[in-house]
Structure 1
Amino acid sequence: MEGFYEEIVSVLKKKKLSKKELNRLKTKLSKKYGLRKIPTDADIILNADPEYAEKLELITKPTRTLSGVAPIALMTRPHKCPHGTCIYCPGGPGSIFGDVPQSYTGREPSTMRSARNHYDPYLVVFNRLEQFFILNQNPEKTEIIIQGGTFPSLDDKYKEEFVMYVFKAMNDFSDKFYKNNKFDFVSFKKFFELPGDIKDAERTSRVQQKVLKLKKSSGLEKEKKRNESSRIRCVGLTIETKPDWGLLKQGNEMLEYGCTRVELGVQATDDRIQRFTNRGHGIKETVESTRILKDLGFKINYHMMPGLPLSSPEKDLEMLRETIENPDFKPDMFKIYPTMVLKGTALYRMWQKGKYLPMTRETAAEIISEFKRYIPRWVRIMRVQRDIPTYVTEAGVDRTNLRQYVEEKLRQKKIACRCIRCREAGLVSRKENISKIIPELFVEEYEASRGREFFISFESRDRKVLFGYCRLRFPSQFLRKEITE
């Protein structure tokens, strides 16, 4: 095994290999040294000389940080939603999947990471940062995403401590592993006992105990202030909630936490569907929450669920289009989650009795591809599918790569999606050379939630490549006292 690493690192020191060339070399050397398993790129980094490891141009899972930020998703402790349970919602305390966060199965990567770290935000952030450095990715600009149910409904003390320890973990990690403004790879490897096996429970326990010794108590304001000059810095904090728990009181509270984006579980824009699925809110709350949160300065992300009971493919597309055409809605971004049937839910029992017909992969791809036909340039479609493995679902979309099926539909229909994700330079540059493009300034103005919004961007002349943008809103109402000092 040592011979493999010595030889491959010696080659990488001399020249840069493409991903294809590297994979060929790994296969060849694995055969030469009789290895039963081909080492990963991360294994090569961890087994290289410390002084050279940082220079290796090996990046695994590059899409994770392609947009310029490193996402860190954390789950809160399992808790029930205050209104009850939606008929399609899995998970929660005492569910068929065990004590897991509401709307999750415990099999999703972020849920497993949180459970492995006892839902302790300090441990989770340390663990996620460890993974980024193992993958040779730079997490100095992080985007925190708090998931696991209706966060604003939780106990005030718990919420404040949760967010405080998120910030403190980034600050303490920076203090621990950056020396003279440089990442100390030797100290990092020693602390996390690397190379190591993620399935090694004893190693995991030892590392967690070392991390917990650093934890100590602190205050939210203190850690937010520390983070302003920390090497690993939070540049965006997202909180998930429902519209009825995303009004003025909750909005002001989320601002105190440092939240910059709110993900609203809208699901549908039809009150009949919302009542039938026991959603606990209707269009009125969605419109009100969207307006208040926009006027407080938050970016808004809608979660939408095509395929719900009482809907149809035509109705689903109509509701999706309404959210981008009706000024009462117009979020900045979307996560589209076709309805899945999971055990333990009321929807599962309906399906068993033949009272519900799930959406197929083909139908989901058709609806989403048609929606992309109408997407304005100021919208980002972040996801088109839940991160739930299909082996725990009973019916619905039967593949985890739905986006690829959507893209195939777009090619067949000759639709060029104009959303931010499909046009951003980092993604486009993987397919074509954009180095000679001279960016031009564009400004799009539109009405949203009784205010005026401006999407200010630098793009290629044909607007197929997006290099950077910012959003500006003239609010419809003033909900915060003016800052005068």
Structure 2
Amino acid sequence: MEEALLEIIAALDEGETVDAVWLDKLVRRYNRAAHDGTRQVAKRRLLPYYLRVRSEEPERWAAWNVAPETDAALVRLLQAKPRRTASGVATITVLTKPWPCSGSCVFCPSDIRMPKSYLSDEPACQRAERCWFDPYLQVTARLRALTDMGHVTDKVELIVLGGTWSDYPEAYQRWFIGELFRALNASDEERARTAAERRAWHETQGLPRERNELAEAAADIQQRINAGELTYNEAWGIVYGDRTLCGHDSAALSHPEILTEDRRADRGLPLRNDGERDLSWDALFALHRANEGAAKRVVGLVVETRPDLVTEQSCRTLRALGCTKVQIGIQSLNDDLLAANGRAITSARIAQAMALLRRYGFKNHIHFMVNLLGATPEGDLADYRRLITDPAFLPDEVKLYPCCLVESAHLTDCFEAGRWRPYTEEELVGVLVADVLATPPWTRISRMIRDISATDILAGNKKTNLRQIVEAAVEEAGEPIREIRSREISVEGAEVENLALETIVYQTATTEEHFLQWVTPAGKIAGFCRLSLPDWAAVEQCPDAPEAPHLPEDACGLPVPGEAMIREVHVYGKVAALHTTGEGTQHLGLGRKLVEEACTQARAAGYAALNVISAVGTRAYYRSLGFEDAGPYQKRPLS
């Protein structure tokens, strides 16, 4: 390994053309020389080895005599999956533990090893299960993996998945978020030591984490779920639970096999986390303050929930936790389709949720599904048009993906009865192509498939490259794409002097939104700001804010009439470490100029102050721009 690295370093020093093809030839040459059929050298092992020597073996590192420019070029050459941080931040996805769900969607998977709607074969789920759903261990594992791939992890966006966040007890929410911050606040040495102690603790509890063992332990109960004998909540009560927690106590009482704690342990299912401890709000806020100056700062915190659980109180709680973006499963705006699919919500309630999220400054990330039970391609097209044109909605981001059939979903009965069929590929691609082309420039289509294994899908799209198929069809159509993800500058960067600052104004039901964007001559986007100018007369039509006695007084602040809100500032390009310039467009003043222009536009519109829904790790940055702490927000006077 060392010999191969030294050859790469020498080639870089001599100015040779060292690219992926050159590297592939070097790796094959070294492996052929081994003569034993083993792969002695691999790209995925070269970088972790190099980084370990650089950080842990100063004498050997000094002997290699690596110049700074060579070091940067080598890391860039060996970096795996460069798009992982192309959006400007390192994204870490974690999963909450299995928990009863208050919804009953017909298309939703019911894997008893996972939170509702997730499947144990999904990559993030596999990682969570290996970590016993311990948030500290999940963050530690992802940091290590991203670092080994050569990614900068100074700025982290935390994405918390697990079905419906607001269904979890508030004490669990505080503890879970606190552990995420605790892991990021720790030094590398402290994090490694604490993670080792936690793994040892979980192991002493006799809690397995190997997939085969877990699958065998859950097989009987999962078979009963798949057969329709048990709901997910009933099964949860049997396997893990206190009946009073499952939300369907009367149904659970009919199942005498609800387990005592000892019998649950006998099943070998580890998902009841006895390591949880109560964490007070004050203790969580202390972890927040520590993160403001930590080496790894939280620049975004995302949770997912349902529209019917978006309330004044839940918004205040989310803000106190440090949340900046909320994913909500809308799936459709057609009330008949929502009812047929067991959603138990209406488009009017969805509109109310969107208005509340904007009122509190959250970015909204909408889940929208094609091919639901009862849907048609024509109806899907009309449904999506309403989402992106009706002022009651107009999302910031969309997960636009097709419904597919998995064994544990109630949709299997509809499929077998001939009441639901998956769209043909031509129908599906046709709908998605039209949706992409219709999407406005302030909306980002984040993904088009769920990470569900093809082996779990009984019917429906199994192609993991569906987005590439859609993009190829869009390109063939020859029409311009305006949605954000297709325009991101990604890893290639842009010349700052060639960027132009544009503003797109659009009206929602309760705000005037100004989408400020840095664009290249070719229309690529290098950064943007979402400035929200509330129509306070419309905002006041939202339900009155109830008192929130469970929150500390300093966490209950809310922007008042006459104040505007920055909901998001984002600069794209390769991640630059904190306090450095980097190779892309980060740390070159683009974000600062966006904020100053937002202040100018808000002042011109007659607003007296500008709030920002800053992430915990960006508070210091906004203070440097003249913002002052104001409860869960930061505020800058505009007079």
Runs of 4+ in 1 over 6 A off after TM superposition: 215-218
Q: In the alignment, which residue of structure 2 is the partner of 1:442?
A: 502
* Structure 2 CA distance for aligned equivalents of residues 435 and 375 of structure 1: 27
Return the alpha-carbon distance in structure 2 between the equivalents of residues 13 and 394 of structure 1: 54
Contact 1:379 1:420 (C-alpha < 8 Å) held by counterparts: yes
369 and 168 in structure 1: CA distance in 2 versus 1, 3 angstrom threshold: same
Structure 2 matches for 1:38-187, cutoff 5 A?
Answer: 39-48=41-50, 49-50=53-54, 51=61, 55=72, 56-57=74-75, 58-83=78-103, 85-93=104-112, 99-173=113-187, 176=190
Aligned residue type for 2:500: E
Equivalent pair of 2:175/2:278 in contact (CA under 8 Å):
no
1:37 is aligned to: 39
Cα separation, partners in 2 of 1:77 and 1:333, compared to 1, 3 Å: same
Name the amino acid aligned to 2:110.
G
The aligned amino acid for 2:29 is K
Aligned-partner Cα distance in 1 for 2:2–2:110: 45
Counterpart selection for 1:246 from 310, 328, 332: 310
1:289 aligned residue (317, 333, 353): 353
Number of the residue aligned with 2:20: 19
Deviations 1:334-359 (A, max 9, x none): 01120010002111122123221112
CA contact (8 A) 2:372 2:403 kept: yes
Indicate if the aligned counterparts of 1:267 and 1:303 stay in contact, CA closer than 8 A. Answer: yes
8 A Cα contact 2:174 2:279, kept in partner: no
The CA distance in 2 between the partners of 1:358 and 1:216, in whole Å, is 46
Rate the CA distance shift 1:216–1:326 in 2: closer, same or farther, 3 A.
Answer: closer
Cα distance in 2 between the residues matched to 1:9 and 1:31: 21
* Mapped pair 1:453 → 2:513: yes
Residue type at the aligned position of 2:158: I
Q: In structure 1, how many angstroms separate the alpha carbons of the residues matched to 2:333 and 2:18?
A: 50
For residues 221-272 of structure 1, the C-alpha deviation after alignment (integer angstroms, 9 at most, x for no partner) is 0111111111101100011011001121111110001111011100001111
Contact 2:30 2:41 in 1 (8 A): no
* 3-state secondary structure, aligned to 2:183: helix
Q: Tell me, what secondary structure is at the counterpart of 1:80? A: coil
Is the Cα–Cα contact under 8 Å of residues 290 and 449 in structure 1 kept in the other structure?
no
**Aligned residues: percent identity?**
28
Structure 2: runs of 5+ lacking an equivalent: 55-60, 198-208, 211-273, 546-557, 561-629
Where in structure 2 are the equivalents of 1:208-357 lying within 5 Å?
A: 219-357=283-421
Task: Give the partner amino acid of 1:423.
Answer: R
- Find out whether 1:472 has 2:555 as its counterpart: no
Equivalent position amino acid for 2:150 in 1: N
Cα distance change on mapping 1:175 and 1:245 into 2, 3 Å: farther
Task: Name the CA shift for 1:13/1:281 in 2 (closer, same or farther; >3 Å).
Answer: farther
- Taking structure 1 as reference, are residues 2 and 425 closer, same or farther at Cα in structure 2, changes over 3 Å only? closer
Q: 1:379 aligns with which of 433, 443, 463?
A: 443
> With CA pairs under 8 Å and 6+ residues apart, which has the higher RCO, 1 or 2?
2
CA separation of 1:36 and 1:13: change in aligned 2, threshold 3 A: farther
CA distance in 2, matches of 1:455, 1:38: 51
Q: Does the aligned pair in 2 maintain the 1:174–1:232 contact within 8 Å?
A: no
Equivalent-residue separation in structure 2 for 1:258 and 1:20 (angstroms): 44
**Pairwise CA distance, 1:465:** 1.2
Q: TM-score, normalised by structure 1?
A: 0.85
Shift of 1:32: 2.3
Q: Is the 8 A contact 1:3 1:33 kept in 2?
A: no
What code does the residue aligned with 2:372 have?
A: L
Aligned residues: 447
The one-letter code of the counterpart of 1:362 is E
